[in-house]
Every structure is written in structure tokens, then in C-alpha cells.
Amino acid sequence: MSSRSVGTGVGRRIRIAAGLFALAEIVVFVLVAQWVGAGVTVLAALATTVLGWALLARQGTKALLELRESARTRRAAGRELGNAGLVAVGGLLMVLPGFIGDLLGLLCLLPGTRSLVRAGLTALIASRLPGGLRPPVRVDSVRTAEMPQRDDVGTTPLVIEGEVLRGPDGRPLS
């Protein structure tokens, strides 16, 4: 199987998903228009677009400030990058017309629900990884594998230099 055929399969699935999403948006828009009227539906769509721009400006500025602060203090910016990405996707979904996209965009833009979206995406991505790459990833060291275990009471404990790895939720891996 060539890399071209793999890429074509992924691209095809993305096009199908985008088409189904657009069809679902149209169906929901028509159902809402039948329920409350076409004028109110158009006004609601415009209102959610304006709300999306406002939330994108506010949350986007906050996410960029957090990124700048993490760069200034030279600490890992994984969470901040994730927030910035979710804010960007949420803003795009809110600005585009459609009520399903507005709901998903709102979940990405609001700080309280953004962590739920991040956790869901993390679980989805982790479930698609091969078994050996799923968190937490354990790495054996050749230096420590050859060292004898000390079970004696009163002996000096074995010290291994290293660093604490953090999981996607920011907590140390155990």
C-alpha cells in the first residue's frame, strides 16, 4: 500500500465527514426555521456569529497572553498551545453559520467546558495510538536494567537521575 493511497483514504474520510456535517447543519437550520420562523432563525444565526467574534477576541487574547507568559518563563506550553488551538477552532465554528457548529464552538471557547473537550480529544487520540505508545509510556534504561536490586535494610538507596514526566492532564506520571 503506497503512502498516496493512505493519504487519499484519509482525505476521502475527511471530505465525507465534512459533507455529512454540512448536511446535518442544513437539516437543523431548516428544522429550527420551521419551528420558530425563518426571520428569527436568521437573526439567531447572526447573533451567534457576533457572539463567536466576541468570545474569540476575548478568549483568543487570553490564550495568547498565556502562551507569551509560558515562553517568557521558559516552561512547557503544552496546555497553553492546546487552549489556543481549541479557541481557534471554537471561534471558526462559531463564526460559520450553523447551530451544531455554534454549540461545538461554544464548548471550545468557554474555559469551563474547554477542559472537557481537551480531555475527550486526549482520550480519543490515546485510544487510536498503538498499545505501546498509549500513556503513560514507560521507558527502560540499559544503565538501570543491569544494576542489582538492593533489598537489604540499612543500605544506601539507589539514586537514578532523571526528570519527572507529565501526562496530558499536567500531573506527574506514576
pLDDT, tens digit, for every residue of 118-174? 888 888 888 887 776 766 666 666 655 555 555 555 566 666 677 767 777 767 666
- Do residues 99 and 27 touch, judged by C-beta distance below 8 A? no
pLDDT, tens digit, for every residue of 76-85? 878 888 888 8
And the C-alpha cell for 135?
Answer: 500513556
pLDDT, tens digit, for every residue of 40-62? 999 999 999 998 889 888 888 88
CA dist 70 and 80 (Å) reads 8
Looking at residue 83, its pLDDT comes to: 85
Residue 112, classed as helix, strand or coil, is helix
Q: Bin 129: left if φ > 0, else alpha if -120 < ψ < 50, else beta.
A: beta
Long-range Cβ contact pairs of 135-138 (< 8 A, separation 24 or more):
135/167, 135/168, 135/173, 136/165, 136/167, 136/173, 136/174, 137/173
- Global pTM reads 0.65
Looking at residue 10, its pLDDT comes to: 80
Looking at residue 30, its pLDDT comes to: 94
